[in-house]
Each structure stands twice: as structure tokens, then as C-alpha cells.
Structure 1
């Protein structure tokens, strides 16, 4: 039995999703951006503001004690206000964060599976995300069927087909 469970995210998970945006932004050891800097940046606020909008969906991983340790969610963005991994209208963009001590325990993979299932159930054909070059999570994304579709300055946009 796994040491964690994955449940659907709710509107009350907004503060925890903010924690996970900070984790995602600070994936490099020793190069942490201050929490307030990440959360006040328009680049990151777009993934949190107004959570939970009608098209939003997410999942949260919790350990046996009930502590939330990771989350993944997606949002739709308009062409006029794209996210880091925007590829087109109608393609949800994924954000994922796992607390450092819980990385490499299968939590990220389980979150990706559950969120892809939710996207399929909602009729989406693709999921997108953005990953900075050098981020070890890119290996996980590739192993889960994401492929680089656009390369930017220091980051790549990846897309997974949901067939």
C-alpha cells in the first residue's frame, strides 16, 4: 500500500497550491527565490488567481498523517494571457509541485496519471507544461509521454497527447 493517497483538489486547497507554485519555481537547490517574490509575480499568479475556476482541475497527494505533500493542477489560458507552457486555446496547462523531501517517491508520477485521467474525462486531447532546462522533472515528463514542442530561453514547452 502506498505511503500516500491522491484526492481531488478543492477550492480550499488554494493556499497549498501557492506553496506548490513556490516549490515548482524553486526546483534548483541553493537558488531559491523568496516566496513573496514568486507569489507576487504575474508569471506565477496566473496559476493561482481565482482558484477554482470552472475549467480548473487538480489533485493533491497526502501522506498517512493527512499532510499534503504535492499537487498538480491544470488551467486554461487565453491567447492574450498565456502561461509558460501555453500551446493553444483549449489545451490545459499543467502545474506540478512536490515538497523536496517527498520527491523521487512516485508522488509526481501518480499526480500526473490522475490529472491526465481527469483531462481525458473532460474531453481534452492534450496537456501542456513548461519545464526549465536542467530540471530533473523533465525525465519524468518524458517517461510519461510528454514531448518537447517548443524551446524558449532556458525552458521547454512539452505536450502529452491524451488518447
Structure 2
């Protein structure tokens, strides 16, 4: 029997958690392509670490025994400072990370479902994301209805809610 996983809302105080998750996301291949210093000093990466509920950002943290094992967050990044998965102004960009050792247990799917349900509850009609070619998480996103965005950067996907 597995250990129970609970979720809680992500807060603006979870910046360190988002730095850890962003670093894991950009190093998804297992190769250390980026360092924590890259995340801190590269504006295109750093803004994934800035959760701002006042601009409408949403997110959830999965925990086991009080320790984070995954996080999902969607940020409203503007067109003049877009993320890698920018679709349009007003369309939040979703990121998802499940810690190594906790994958394959449904945590990512649960977090994704919870985030999309919250987006629907808030009246959002679309959510975007970016995923590199070869990343196995693309299967999860496709199963949730995400599809490539024509004319957008490679790896940009969106789901209509």
C-alpha cells in the first residue's frame, strides 16, 4: 500500500519549491543541462519561479507526509515577457513537475486534472504549455486533451476548456 498523497494550494511563499521544480523540468533528460544559477539568472526561466496569485496564477502542491513530491502551476505571463509555451495574452502557461521516485503513481495526472478543473472554475477557456520533443510527459498532456498550437514555437501545446 502506497503512502497517501494530499494536495494544497500553491502560495507566493513557495518560490524555492518552484525553483526546484523548474530546474527539474529543464533537466528532464537526466543530464545536468542547466544549473540553479541558470534558473536564477535567466529571465526566461526565472519567471517560472515567481508565483503571483494577484495576477491570477494558480497552482497546487502534492505532498506525502508533509513533504512536496510534485507541483503544478499556471502563470499568466504577458506577451512582452512570454514563457516558452506562450499561446496568447490571457492564456496561462502550465508547468508540472513530479519528483523522481514518485513518478508513475498518478501524481502528475492528479495534479494536472486539479489545475485544469480550477482553471475551468475560474472561467478560463484555454491553457497552454511547452514540452520538449522526446519528453515522456507529452503522453500525459495529450491524454488530457492538449494538442500542438499551429504557428507557435515547437513544443507549444494547448487545451480548450
Contact 1:22 1:39 (C-alpha < 8 Å) held by counterparts:
no
User: For residue 130 of structure 1, what is the aligned residue in structure 2?
Assistant: 130
Tell me the distance in 1 between the aligned counterparts of 2:27 and 2:8. 24
Matches for 1:1-163 after TM superposition, within 5 Å: 3-49=4-50, 51-54=51-54, 55-63=56-64, 65-150=65-150, 152=153, 155-162=154-161
The Cα offsets for residues 119-148 of structure 1, whole Å up to 9 and x where unpaired, read as 111110010000000000001100111111
Tell me the distance in 1 between the aligned counterparts of 2:34 and 2:79. 27
Aligned residues: 158
Contact 2:8 2:62 (C-alpha < 8 Å) held by counterparts:
yes
Structure 1 residue 117 displacement after superposition? 0.9
Q: TM-score, normalised by structure 2?
A: 0.91
The Cα offsets for residues 33-65 of structure 1, whole Å up to 9 and x where unpaired, read as 22222232111111223x2241111100001x1
Tell me the distance in 2 between the aligned counterparts of 1:112 and 1:60. 11
Q: Which runs of 5+ in 2 are unaligned?
A: none
Q: Which runs of 5+ in 1 are unaligned?
A: none
Q: Which has the higher strand share?
A: 1
Tell me the distance in 2 between the aligned counterparts of 1:2 and 1:141. 25
Cα root mean square deviation, aligned:
1.6
Shift >3 Å, 4+ stretches: none
Query: Secondary structure of 1:44's partner?
Result: helix
Tell me the distance in 2 between the aligned counterparts of 1:113 and 1:145. 11
Query: Secondary structure of 1:128's partner?
Result: strand
